[in-house]
Chain A
Amino acid sequence: MDQPKNPLLDTQEADTGKKPTTDQEREPTLGRFSRRSFLAQLGAAGVAATASPLAHATETEAPEKESPPRVPGAVPVTLNINGKEYRVRLEPRVTLLDALRDHLQLFGTKKGCDHGQCGACTVHVNGRRVNSCLSFAIMHQGDKITTIEGLAQNGQLSPVQQAFLDHDGFQCGYCTPGQIMSATALLHEPIGPDDNAVRAAMSGNICRCGAYNNIVAAVQQARARKTA
């Protein structure tokens, strides 16, 4: 079943020549009425019943030409995420993490601490891993953003995703998108070969279930197959 349409969201295909991934393709096991769409409908009802908290939003210099804002203080922002252009109206104080989850319906990136301490929100900006909770979305116009939704290609899991499955690199799974985004970036970073180097390089991603040993094994498998 289709996700509820976000009235503030205008999605355009970039010139990647690829078809957009449908929700069915992305979440094949969730069936016609998914937990996600159910929660999203609840959320939309909640928003409709709440008065705007943004009455005191100040005027903002928009990087682009303004049309009349639908949310006070919101300005047009264009983001390139996983090869797609998203046009959305955001307040400048909306973090990249909140833009992904609350405005673009890309729920794969998780909010943990919201202060750059847990790593659950890790995404790639221009190929480098960053904490999306500590960056304002409006600062990322023109950047190439990759989220966990952008790793699998043509229905094939990425080598790091497959390695996390092979090694059971998670328990509850909440930290896993951030772990996988960190591990994917790590493959191109100058770090040493041994397990301790991996532990240090993954230290920005906390796993409260304590799946660390399996995560290290998964990362080492992905590194070995990359160099093989």
Chain B
Amino acid sequence: MQVFRYSQAHTVDAAVQNAARSGGAFIAGGTTLVDLMKLNVLQPQSVVDINGLPLDRIETLPNGGLRIGALVRNSDLASNQTVQQQYAVLSQALLSGASPQLRNMATTGGNLLQKTRCYYYRDTNYPCNKRQPGSGCAALDGFNRIHAVLGGSDHCVATHPSDMAVAMMALEATVHTRGSKGERTIALDEFYLVPGSTPDRENLLLPGELITHVTLPALASGTRSVYLKLRDRAQYEFALASSAVVINVSGGAVQRARIAFGGVGTKPWRSREAENALEGQPATSETFHRAAEAAMAGAKPLKYNAFKIELAKRALIRTLTETTQSA
């Protein structure tokens, strides 16, 4: 691991100023950063410890929504009563990710910024446009079973690994940040970037800009939500395909649906195609199959990951069936 300058920040302003000045990385749980620093994939010259910042609370908002501090640990968010009762999809997604030890460390802000598990990104012996822009992509012609079928480019096909972010996509979360130019509010759907020709740019954060909170809107009564994660092991494995559904059904018809996928996209993948195929339609198996086809219509398989397309369709159909069965 390269040496770095370490400092602790006790206010958000100090953290942002310090990181902007030093070109530093923020550290909270450390579960991604320390891992990748050991591999020399990330080599920050400066590390700003933000664990002392007052961003560790979960608060109900006056409008009924939820405000989640960036330092709230994954395990605490998953076991929060409000989250379990009103945003079940989020609790389920969090508990499907990583291990209990890692969930005790990993934070809300850090999870949104988790780095891909692409083998070639993690191994500095291989070219990787995300790690070293312009060096090429070893995954395109490599072993690409875990890679993306949606949102990829000729430069990068790495998947985003987060489960939490997929649930937050379906919940239409908003990211709140503080940077040297002040505060910003960004819809999570717009926060992430597809790789295009600049896969090293994964989101809209500017250097030194810090995620301070995530907010979730209130959900209409009767909303049901669920997260289903399909993977090579029963526990402690990244998704090959996952599906997050947030849905309202009334009188046998889908009133409102928010659909997102994990494990198949270069970012947590919201599918407006699936939502459009569902809303206003009868909550039947035929509708769900049409939504699944619509969601994956633009999918582009690589040599080893074509199975993900069918897997994602079945994940969506199963979660839709589960959430629309009469209680």
Question: Looking at the complex, which of B1-9, B64-72, B267-275 is the stretch in contact with chain A?
Answer: B1-9
* Contact yes or no, B51 A128, CB < 8 A: no
A204: CB under 8 A from chain B? yes
Q: How far is the CA of A135 from the CA of B30 in the complex (A)?
A: 6
B299: CB under 8 A from chain A? no
* Contact yes or no, A61 B5, CB < 8 A: yes
* Contact yes or no, A139 B99, CB < 8 A: no
B104: CB under 8 A from chain A? yes
B255: CB under 8 A from chain A? no
Residues from chain A with a CB closer than 8 A to the CB of B37 are 93
Residues from chain A with a CB closer than 8 A to the CB of B35 are 115-116, 134
**Beta-carbon contacts under 8 Å, B84-142 to A:** 98-102, 104-105
User: How many B residues face the partner with a CB closer than 8 A?
Assistant: 32
CB distance from B232 to the nearest CB of A (A): 13
Given contacts A136-B30, A199-B235, contact A204 B5 (CB under 8 A): no
**Beta-carbon contacts under 8 Å, A173-207 to B:** 182, 185-186, 189-190, 199-201, 203-205
CB distance from A133 to the nearest CB of B (A): 8
* Binding site secondary structure of chain A: loop
**Beta-carbon contacts under 8 Å, A126-163 to B:** 128-131, 133-136, 138-139
B307: CB under 8 A from chain A? no
Q: How far is the CA of A136 from the CA of B102 in the complex (A)?
A: 14
* Contact yes or no, A135 B105, CB < 8 A: yes
B153: CB under 8 A from chain A? no
Q: How far is the CA of A73 from the CA of B5 in the complex (A)?
A: 9
A-B contact count (CB 8 A): 94
Q: How far is the CA of A72 from the CA of B2 in the complex (A)?
A: 14
The 8 A CB mask of A84-114 against B (1 = contact, 0 = none) is 0000000111010000000000000000001
A78: CB under 8 A from chain B? no
Given contacts A58-B4, A116-B31, A139-B30, contact A122 B101 (CB under 8 A): yes
The 8 A CB mask of B20-51 against A (1 = contact, 0 = none) is 00000001011100110110000001010101
Residues from chain B with a CB closer than 8 A to the CB of A133 are 34
For the A-B complex with A54-B3, A115-B35 known, give 7 more contacts whose Cβ atoms are closer than 8 Å: A58-B4, A61-B5, A93-B4, A131-B101, A138-B6, A139-B51, A182-B101
9 A-B pairs (CB sep. < 8 Å): A58-B3, A92-B47, A116-B31, A129-B101, A131-B105, A134-B34, A136-B6, A139-B49, A203-B99
B→A interface (CB under 8 Å): 1-8, 27, 29-31, 34-35, 37-38, 45, 47, 49, 51, 75, 79, 98-102, 104-105, 234-236
A→B interface (CB under 8 Å): 54, 56-61, 63, 73, 91-93, 95, 114-116, 119, 122, 128-131, 133-136, 138-139, 182, 185-186, 189-190, 199-201, 203-205
